[in-house]
Every structure is written in structure tokens, then in C-alpha cells.
Amino acid sequence: MLKPAFWKRVTVVLFVFCIVTVGYTDTKPTYDKRSVDDKHPVPYRIRNELSDSEEFIPIDRIFTQFMKRWDLAGASVAIAKEGRLVFAKGYGYADSNDTIRVQPFNLFRIASVSKLITATAIMNLEEEEQLHLDDRIFGEEGILNDSIYCYPADPRALNITVRHLLMHSGGWTRRWGDHMFIPHTIAKFMDVPVPPDTETIVRFALAKKLHFTPGTYRSYSNLGYSILGLVIEKVTGQSYMEYVLKNIMEPLGIYDMQLGRNLAEDKAPLEVRYYEPDGSELVKSVYNGEELVPRSYGGNDIEALGGAGSWIASAPDLLKFVLAIDGDPGRTDILDKERIEIMTNPSTGYAPVGWKATISNGTWWRTGSFAGTSAMVKHQNDGFTWVVLLNSSTWKASKFPGEIDRTMRKVFGSVKEWPDQDLFMYRIPDPLVPQGLEGI
């Protein structure tokens, strides 16, 4: 016969089950549980209040002054020390029209910081031997062996490899404009409606002469990294975003990063609004040749960039990703040491791969900027790694990350002692389980 204690325990478990069921059917939780707490996304756990402490008052003052000086709407800052998230805070407004304050869980466009994600995905495929860095991209023997890519106007394009694209050495310059930002020119030449998709942009590039022989020179290329996004899709049989999320982000416990959209009405939940400097000129919409719109909302085709610049992320999530590809002992890396060396060590002959610049002393950084956006990630050689995301642009455009870097140097000079905490490990209370029954 079953003991009374057993039935008592069963009754308690059924009581908890009923509460949970009612919670999910009758009311909507204020956050997404994601099944177990280890898979509960960082943004919903971390709020500004967790970095409200006396030692961080200087940071608040520095960023308040920084934002006022440059007329910035909002910013999100995340700082890690030896793999621990010691600071995460938002400043200003996610949407100044609604006076919504920035929180660490807000999503920002990260522009060319996306290239670091794409490079990591390629390296992961190379590590798994699903492709090799010297594999050719185009032609019948290439990865992209569809007929539309097999007969380029310049035969040298048949020699472009994965390695060339990773290193901005594919043969293209921006001599006549950036392929990813001239949609009307491309649509007219290719006789297609605007905006042309990524495949059409690649076909346009292949219909022209290369600017240099692949592998003989380097020239920063958004096109090259957009092509790498197509390579990932061809090799894996998945969409670019699906592969990255399932094989790079989710194993790290990152669930809210995603590809951004062009228009304000299509922005993701928790995504900020973007702001350009006063007096910024309107440009032709990528959706037609008549309407004039802000570059940040329909003037640039962010969606077509794909692997070159389409990602949106929160500062803590982006920082967690970077800590997984740094080779440091603080956190487990998603890539092996050899691939991290290829991406970061200049002596290998590859670097920088994905990064904007890498120095042999262990200092690396990646920047990104659009109209309405500026982002910077930096891995320092003193154990600190940080992310700053902004939802405003300035007249300094791509040179503005230098101002971000100077501001962060002030931050590190102002904090005498960092707390012994790791906000990545913070767990919010579970509102669905009554107090005292958490272990049942």
C-alpha cells in the first residue's frame, strides 16, 4: 500500500502543475520561459537595476556626457571581465517618441559587426569539414554552381575562394560604389524591380570586370560577406539565419539575435528606433524610385546585406557571442584554437577574418555603422571585452567608433574596482512556482 506521504507529495505536484497550466492558458507571462532556465535568454534576465551601484556612478556620468555631446538618442553598454558580465546598462531612449528608456534587452542593428558572425559560421563549417577555405565559389566546380553563377564576364572570378572572401580579397573595390548600396543602378541594369535581392546583386557583380585579381590585394567588401551568406545556405541546405541560430547562437544560450528589417513597421519586438542627425537628406526608397525616405528606414536595403550587415542584437548577447570566439579561458569557445588563430593572429597570414583589426598583443575590434546606427566590439589584452551599441548616427559616420573607443577608455580609467559578479548567471525568480515549492 502506498504511504500517505507519497499521496501528499503527489497532491503538491498536481497543485503546482495546475498553477503552471493556468498561468500559460489564462495569462501571458511577462517574459518567455524557453523551457528551462539555462535556455532562458539573457535579455529578459538582465535589467538596468542590476548595474545600479556606487562603483558605476562614474560610468553613468561619462555616458550621459557622451550622449549629450553627440546628441544620441540611446545606447547600450556591456562589459565583461575575464569572461564574466560585470556591467550591462542602457542609456537614453529606445524610442524617444514614446519616452521608452533603453534596457540591456533592447535589440540594435549591429551593421558590419555582422561580418564577425558570418566569419564564425564559415569557420564552424570548415572545422566540421563541410567546406574548405580554398574551395572555389563560382563555376561548375564551385560551391555556388548554379547556372546563374557559372559564366562570369571576367574569368578570374572563377578563382575566387572562401578564403578570398573572408579576407576582403575577392577582386572587388568600391571604385564605382558599394554593390550593396546601389539598388536602383543594379535593378535597372538587370531589368528587375527594386529592390534587387542578394542573388541579383551577385549576378550584377559577375557581369562586370573584377577590379583586381583575387588574392593579390585587399579592399573592404560588403559584397564578399553577402556572398558568404549564400555559401552557408548552399552548403547547409538551410537559410543563413537558421544555420547561424541553430549552430552558433543557441548552443551559447543566445535566442534573440536575428536578421533585421528595413522598415519601422517591421522592426522586431524589443528593437529600438533609429535616429539620424538633424538635417540628414532623404533618399530614394529602395522599394521605388519616387518616394524620398530616411536612409535608416527604407533608404538602405539592410535585408539584402545578409551576412555583411543584417543582424540585430542586444549588447549582452553580442558580448556573450564574442567571448565564445576569443580563445580566452574565461568561457568555453565555440571554435577550436586553430580557427580562432586564423581569425585573429596576424602572423598566420589570414587575420583579420571577421574582425576589423587584430593586433598581435591580443587587442581586436570590430565596428559597424549605418545611418541611424553605430556599433563597436572590442577585445582587450587586459581581460576586458566590451560592446557599445547606439541607435543614432552622427556626421562622423564610420569614423565615430573612434569616439566610442575614447569614451570607453575613460570608463576603464574611472572604475577602481569591478564587482565580483557575473550577470550572465543571474536568474530571475520563477513567477509560476509558489515560494517554497521550487524543488518539487
Q: What is residue 229's predicted lDDT score, i.e. its pLDDT?
A: 98
- 6 within domain boundaries: no
- 76 within domain boundaries: no
With a cut of 50, list the residues of the chain below it in pLDDT: 1-43, 432-440
What is the signed CA dihedral for 50, 381, 404, 63, rounded to 10 degrees?
30
pTM of the model: 0.88
- 33 within domain boundaries: no
Q: What are phi and psi of 258, to 5 degrees?
A: -165, 170
- 88 within domain boundaries: no
At 93-144, the pLDDT tens digits run 999 888 899 999 999 999 999 999 999 999 999 999 999 999 999 999 999 9
Sign of the CA dihedral with 231 first, then 234, 240, and 245 last: negative
Q: Which three cell numbers stand for residue 199?
A: 542573388
- 52 within domain boundaries: no
Q: What are phi and psi of 106, to 5 degrees?
A: -65, 145
Q: What is residue 44's predicted lDDT score, i.e. its pLDDT?
A: 56
Instruction: Domain of residue 224: give its range.
Output: 108-414
- 103 within domain boundaries: no
3 state DSSP class of 51: helix
- 359 within domain boundaries: yes
Which helix (DSSP H) or strand (DSSP E) does residue 284 occupy? strand 283-284
Angle ∠(243,249,251) on CA atoms, nearest 5: 100
**What is the total count of domains within the chain?**
1
CATH of the domain at 396: 3.40.710.10
Q: Cell match 524543488: residue?
A: 439
- 216 within domain boundaries: yes
Measure Cα distances from 172 to 140, 167, 198 in Å: 21, 12, 16
CB-based contacts of 191, cutoff 8 Å, min separation 6: none
C-alpha span between 4 and 213 (Å, rounded) = 82
Quote the DSSP letter at residue 131: S
